[in-house]
C-alpha cells in the first residue's frame, strides 16, 4: 500500500447544488500532491470531507487503507484557507490549546512549540496576544499549530497567502523538510509557480468533476506540443524563415538574448526529432538558442479548464 490517502468516487450535494461529482484521487506516501481548480470548483469540499468536517453523500475515503474514522484526525494537519486564531488569546496558550485538541499532551506540546518557535525565531511572541501581531506573524503561528502534532498527512489550502516572499520561502522550506521527515502533503493553491516548484502530482477539479490527474511531469509530457524555441544568427533571415515554414509550423518567439538573432517557435510533427531540426539549422547559421517548450502548470490549468 503506497497510497496514504485514497478518495474513492466521492460525491457531495448541498441541496440541488452538486459540489463534488464522483471524484477519486490517490495520494502517494511521501509525495506533494497539488489539488488545483478554479474558485468554487469543489476543492474545499473535498478537503473538508478528508478532514471529516463534512460527510460525503457517496463514496469513501481511505487513510492508510482504512476508511476514515474519528481517530484519524490526529494523523491529519489542516491549514484551511479561511483561517484565523482567537484574537484575544495569548500566542502560547492558544497554540497549546489547539495542540491539545489534536491529542498532544500538554508537556509534549510545550516542548515542541518551543523548538518550533526557536527555529522560526518567534520565541518572544509567546505571551503576546494575536491581535498585537501582524497578519503574516499570525500565519506563522497558524502554520506551526498545523504541523505540531507531526501528522502523516498535511493539507495546506493556500499556505503562502499573507506571507512576504522571505517568509513564504521559509514556509516552503519547512514544507519540504516535513516531507523529507516522511509527511505527505496535499497542497491547494492558485499560485502556479509554487505548484511547479513543489508538486510531484496534481489533480485538477473543475465544476465538481476531476478533469485531470497524474504525475506533473507526465502531464507536461502529455501537454507538450513538440515545439522548440530557436535562436539563430544568419545572413538571410527571411530566406531561412521561409524555408523553415515549408517544413514545419513556425511562429515568432519572444525571449531575451544578447544578440539580435532570428527568434522562432518551431513545432515539429510526431515523426520528426529535435536532432533533425538542429542538424538542419546548423547548416544555415550560428545556433545560439535551442530549447524545448515545456507547458507550465499555469498553461496546463488554463487549457484544461478551457477544454471542458
* Positions in the binding site for another protein (CB under 8 A): 14-15, 48, 51-53, 70-71, 73-74, 76, 78, 80, 82-89, 97-98, 100-103, 142, 145
Q: Are 54 and 1 in contact (CB under 8 A)?
A: no
Among 291, 248, 293, smallest CA distance to 271 is for: 248
In a 10 Å sphere around its CB, with 0-12 CB exposed, 13-18 middle and 19+ buried, how is residue 230 labelled?
A: buried
Q: At what angle do helices 135-147 and 165-180 cross, to 10 degrees?
A: 0
| 62: β partners | 6, 67
Radius of gyration of the chain (CA): 24
Our CB check for another protein shows the closer of 131 and 276 to be 131
Indicate the residue among 24 and 52 with the shorter CB distance to another protein.
52
Q: How far is the CB of 183 from another protein (least distance, A)?
A: 16
Closest approach, Cβ 94 to another protein, in A, equals 9
What is the nearest approach in angstroms of another protein to the Cβ of residue 80?
Answer: 4
Nearest to 297 by CA among 208, 161, 190: 190
Closest separation in Å from C-beta 84 to another protein: 3
User: What phi and psi values does residue 29 have, to the nearest 5 degrees?
Assistant: -60, 135
Secondary structure letter of residue 171 according to DSSP: H
- For the chain, the distance separating the N- and C-terminal CA atoms, rounded to the nearest angstrom, is 33
DSSP character at residue 273? -
Centre a 10 Å sphere on the Cβ of residue 295 and count the other Cβ atoms it contains: 18
Residues 6 or more apart whose Cβ sits within 8 Å of residue 214: 201, 202, 203, 222
Alpha-carbon distance of 192 to 140, in angstroms, equals 22
- Whichever of 27 and 95 has its CB closer to another protein, that residue is 95
Which of residues 114 and 135 has its CB atom nearest to another protein in the complex? 135
Give the nearest distance from C-beta 277 to another protein in angstroms: 53
Which DSSP symbol is given to 294? P
Rounded Cα–Cα distance for residues 40 and 276 (Å):
46
User: Least distance from C-beta 225 to another protein, angstroms?
Assistant: 41
Smaller CB distance to another protein: residue 183 or 240? 183
CB of 142 to another protein, least distance (A): 8
The residue among 73 and 305 lying less far from another protein, judged by its C-beta, is 73
Give the nearer residue to another protein in terms of CB position, either 31 or 142. 142
- 247 burial (CB, 10 Å; 0-12 / 13-18 / 19+) is middle
* Residue with Cβ nearer another protein (159 or 231): 159
Cβ at position 221, least distance to another protein in Å: 36
Amino acid at each position: 500500500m503506497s497510497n496514504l490517502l485514497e478518495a474513492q468516487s466521492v460525491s457531495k450535494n448541498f441541496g440541488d447544488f452538486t459540489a463534488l461529482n464522483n471524484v477519486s484521487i490517490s495520494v502517494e506516501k511521501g509525495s506533494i500532491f497539488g489539488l488545483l481548480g478554479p474558485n468554487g470548483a469543489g476543492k474545499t469540499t473535498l478537503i473538508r470531507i478528508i478532514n471529516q468536517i463534512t460527510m460525503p453523500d457517496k463514496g469513501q475515503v481511505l487513510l492508510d487503507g482504512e476508511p476514515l474514522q474519528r481517530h484519524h484526525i490526529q494523523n491529519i494537519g489542516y491549514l484551511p484557507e479561511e483561517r484565523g486564531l482567537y484574537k484575544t488569546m495569548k500566542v502560547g496558550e492558544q497554540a497549546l490549546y489547539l495542540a491539545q485538541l489534536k491529542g498532544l499532551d500538554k508537556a509534549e506540546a510545550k516542548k515542541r512549540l518551543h523548538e518550533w518557535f526557536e527555529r522560526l525565531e518567534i520565541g518572544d511572541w509567546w505571551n503576546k496576544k494575536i491581535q498585537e501581531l501582524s497578519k503574516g506573524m499570525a500565519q506563522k503561528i497558524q502554520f506551526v499549530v498545523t504541523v505540531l502534532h507531526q501528522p502523516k498527512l498535511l493539507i495546506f489550502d493556500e499556505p503562502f497567502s499573507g506571507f512576504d516572499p522571505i517568509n513564504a520561502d521559509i514556509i516552503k522550506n519547512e514544507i519540504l523538510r516535513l516531507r523529507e521527515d516522511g509527511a505527505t502533503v496535499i497542497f491547494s493553491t492558485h499560485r502556479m509557480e509554487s505548484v511547479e516548484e513543489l508538486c510531484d502530482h496534481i489533480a485538477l477539479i473543475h465544476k465538481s468533476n476531476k478533469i485531470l490527474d497524474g504525475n506533473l511531469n507526465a502531464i507536461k509530457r502529455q501537454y507538450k506540443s513538440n515545439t522548440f524555441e530557436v535562436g539563430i544568427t544568419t545572413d538571410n533571415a527571411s530566406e531561412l524563415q521561409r524555408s523553415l515554414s515549408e517544413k514545419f509550423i513556425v511562429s515568432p518567439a519572444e525571449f531575451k538574448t544578447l544578440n539580435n538573432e532570428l527568434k522562432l517557435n518551431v513545432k515539429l510533427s510526431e515523426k520528426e526529432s529535435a536532432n533533425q531540426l538542429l542538424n538542419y539549422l546548423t547548416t544555415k547559421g550560428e545556433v545560439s538558442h535551442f530549447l524545448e517548450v515545456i507547458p507550465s502548470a499555469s498553461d496546463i490549468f488554463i487549457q484544461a479548464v478551457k477544454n471542458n
